[in-house]
Structure 1
Amino acid sequence: MSRQRIMSSLAAAAAAGALTVVLPASPAAAADCAAAWNSAAAYHGGATVSYKGRNWTAKWWTQNETPGGSSGVWADKGTCGGGTSTPSQPPASGSCNHPDWVAGRSYAAGDVVRYTDGKLYRAEHANPGYDPVISTWYWEPYTCGGSSPAPTTPAPSNPSGFVVSEAQFNQMFPSRNPFYTYKGLVDALSAYPAFARTGGDTVKKQEAAAFLANINHETGGLVHVVEQNTANYSHYCDRSQPYGCPAGQSAYYGRGPIQLSWNFNYKAAGDALGINLLNNPNLVQTDPAVAWKTAIWYWMTQNGPGTMTGHSAMVNGRGFGETIRSINGSLECGGRNPAQVQSRINAYQKFTQILGVAPGGNLSC
């Protein structure tokens, strides 16, 4: 039977009330747009979203990594909904007069400001006055009159590849002790190459923020290099260890970003790092790179009172709360000291904002 006769028969049956006919729609000019990308949502590999008139598919787990950005996590699946690949910039005002950026002033998405370098920046996301050249997830360069975008000033080269720039580090710790140098931190990264370098950009930045937030809490904002309660100093010598306390009864008090304490911790950290800290614990308060290495050693290798390392908690999606448990869970988690837990959470949320990533879930313990 010909297609024409089939269609005529179907139409006749429909007219008689025998069936409902749904005719195929004409082919779309482009694929339908998937659900819009949400910076706060977490996507697993294979998830498809739409962004700026195009569909994108995640290659692996991701959160807050913009489709089309530099992370490489999103595969471009082409134009959707018949739109263009990227919407044009909104019409610029003829005068190009925009207000000066003011730190701490709230800005809505789309607001345009003039920064101290004389260039214009547009808010991609609402923010409470973050620095346009530091929090680049919140701001993008902007030009008036349809001219080509102004070239951006490249970030200073970071041979270490650390996801926190020196400017961001300074923003996180404006009152830090000069002992805690950014160079010391960067020099310490070689001890554990997987630190803040595992997973996509979001995970790397979340791990760095989690580590630094806990460090912030332990040292009062990177202010204290040594434990302040000197009455505790003599308590940190466990003479039951076969090696004893060769540096002295009171030598193993808290030092450095993680406030490393006890002779057995100095021994374990020193053995792992190839540094004789058991006999020379003072290195942790006199050598910035050694101090940072001991903190990264604990983060990468020690479960503490928890069930996993801080590193494992962040790269496996267990959340910031698990890192608190690994550092001081026996004293703070389970409702034991909610104020201390909240202090750590507040720092983590602030640092993820500076780095331009969502904090993720499971923040508390």
Structure 2
Amino acid sequence: MESKWCVFVAMAMFMLVILVNGDDETSAVKPKVKIVKGKKLCDKGWECKGFSEYCCNQTISDFFQTYQFENLFAKRNTPVAHAVGFWDYHSFITAAAQYQPHGFGTTGGKLMGQKEVAAFLGHVGSKTSCGYGVATGGPLAWGLCYNKEMSPSKLYCDDYYKYDYPCTPGVSYHGRGALPIYWNYNYGKTGEALKVDLLNYPEQIENNATLAFQAAIWRWMTPDKKNQPSAHEAFVGKWKPTKNDTLAKRVPGFGATMNVLYGDQVCGKGDDESMNNIVSHYLYYLDLMGVGREEAGPHEVLSCAEQLPFSQAPTTTSSS
């Protein structure tokens, strides 16, 4: 009888392990490894696939899991939110899997990966928030409240791009997504990159959370213009500032990501409210992820208050 009981307990414990770990796509995966020209390349399967040096590092799901996503976006599914049930962790990780072999969240060690995820989501949270000063849980708890602009004032059709990205009659190119896309030319460029017809069917962004995250991560990873870094490169230190960048007070770090993504909308304007809101989300997420805001770096790295936008060249007599 005792031996049967021991067998039963052992089987129960085994089943418990399966329940805890068995359906977790993010549980440890032994990477495939090969050496090419003296460089170690890895393939970790679905999340980091295709033999990349970055896949030899920890993947995002190793250090950022469902409960942390829920903590960061705690109020997104409350009844008063505008995109209830839309955004979820699985959609984010599925989208991120496409870019992890290129270094998204996998550049450097665990700390840099955590910081990049917090930085990217800091932008996302600030741009999709419906939080305000006295909102329940505080204004920073309401990221991913929206997945689209609720009351667009225009169609955002720019006829200047009518040959490359012609507007579809009756279609509105208002803000949609995790880093909201505006204007026909931006929908066109993003659609080309993701191989999705967003020019004719931009509503796909508000109907598919994985696609919405993919579009945002693609923007994070892609330079807007030649001779400029991507937000990713500016953040992880892959970008080396030129002499002109140094004169313009542009330095690698979180501040430069705002400069890449928004330029003169928030940068070079001193103590700008929109800039401070983005920074606040980033610091809040660093804290919630267990990294701590002290890892964000000094003010000149964190802020773009004194940085000239990338679209502006410094003058030798400029004091800004």
The bucket for the TM-score relative to the shorter chain is: 0.5 to 0.7
Corresponding residue for 2:244?
none
Cα distance change of structure 1 residues 305 and 345 upon mapping to structure 2, 3 Å threshold: farther
Question: Matches of residues 189-208 of structure 1 in structure 2 within 5 Å?
Answer: 189-193=96-100, 194-208=103-117
Corresponding residue for 1:170?
70
* Cα distance in 2, alignment partners of residues 244 and 211 from structure 1: 28
Corresponding residue for 1:252?
173
1:188 to 95, 101, 107: 95
Question: Matches of residues 28-177 of structure 1 in structure 2 within 5 Å?
Answer: 158=26, 160=47, 161-162=59-60, 163-176=63-76, 177=83
Ranked by relative contact order (alpha carbons within 8 Å, sequence separation 6 or more), the top structure is 2
* Cα distance in 1, alignment partners of residues 201 and 182 from structure 2: 13
1:348 aligns with 2:282: yes
Corresponding residue for 1:270?
191
> How many aligned positions are there?
212
2:267 to 333, 339, 345: 333
TM-score (norm 1): 0.53
Deviations 1:252-282 (A, max 9, x none): 1110011011111111111111111112111
Q: How far does residue 215 in structure 1 lie from its aligned partner after superposition?
A: 0.7
Q: How far does residue 244 in structure 1 lie from its aligned partner after superposition?
A: 4.3
TM-score (norm 2): 0.61
More strand by share: 1
On the 8 A contact 2:156/2:172 being kept in 1, the answer is no
Deviations 1:292-335 (A, max 9, x none): 11101110003479942110111107111111111222111112
Corresponding residue for 2:313?
none
Question: Matches of residues 6-21 of structure 1 in structure 2 within 5 Å?
Answer: none
1:179 aligns with 2:113: no
* Cα distance in 1, alignment partners of residues 168 and 86 from structure 2: 23
Q: How far does residue 235 in structure 1 lie from its aligned partner after superposition?
A: 2.8
Cα distance change of structure 1 residues 238 and 209 upon mapping to structure 2, 3 Å threshold: farther
Q: How far does residue 245 in structure 1 lie from its aligned partner after superposition?
A: 3.3
* Cα distance in 1, alignment partners of residues 263 and 165 from structure 2: 27
1:279 to 200, 206, 212: 200
Letter of the aligned partner of 1:165 in structure 2?
Q
On the 8 A contact 1:303/1:310 being kept in 2, the answer is no
* Cα distance in 2, alignment partners of residues 333 and 305 from structure 1: 20
Corresponding residue for 2:210?
289
Deviations 1:100-121 (A, max 9, x none): xxxxxxxxxxxxxxxxxxxxxx
Letter of the aligned partner of 1:195 in structure 2?
F
- SS of match in other structure, 2:118: helix
- SS of match in other structure, 2:302: coil
Corresponding residue for 1:360?
297
Deviates more, 1:299-308 or 1:260-269: 299-308
* Cα distance in 1, alignment partners of residues 179 and 259 from structure 2: 14
Deviations 1:226-271 (A, max 9, x none): 123411x323333533144353354211100110111111111111
Unaligned stretches of 5+ residues in structure 2: 1-19, 28-46, 48-58, 77-82, 130-142, 239-251, 305-320
Corresponding residue for 1:236?
157
Residue identity over aligned pairs, in percent, reads 29
* Cα distance in 1, alignment partners of residues 161 and 259 from structure 2: 27
* Cα distance in 2, alignment partners of residues 260 and 337 from structure 1: 26
Q: How far does residue 225 in structure 1 lie from its aligned partner after superposition?
A: 1.0
On the 8 A contact 1:207/1:315 being kept in 2, the answer is yes
Q: How far does residue 195 in structure 1 lie from its aligned partner after superposition?
A: 1.1
Q: How far does residue 187 in structure 1 lie from its aligned partner after superposition?
A: 1.3
Which is greater in Rg?
Answer: 1
* Cα distance in 2, alignment partners of residues 305 and 324 from structure 1: 17
More helix by share: 2
Unaligned stretches of 5+ residues in structure 1: 1-152
1:218 to 116, 127, 137: 127
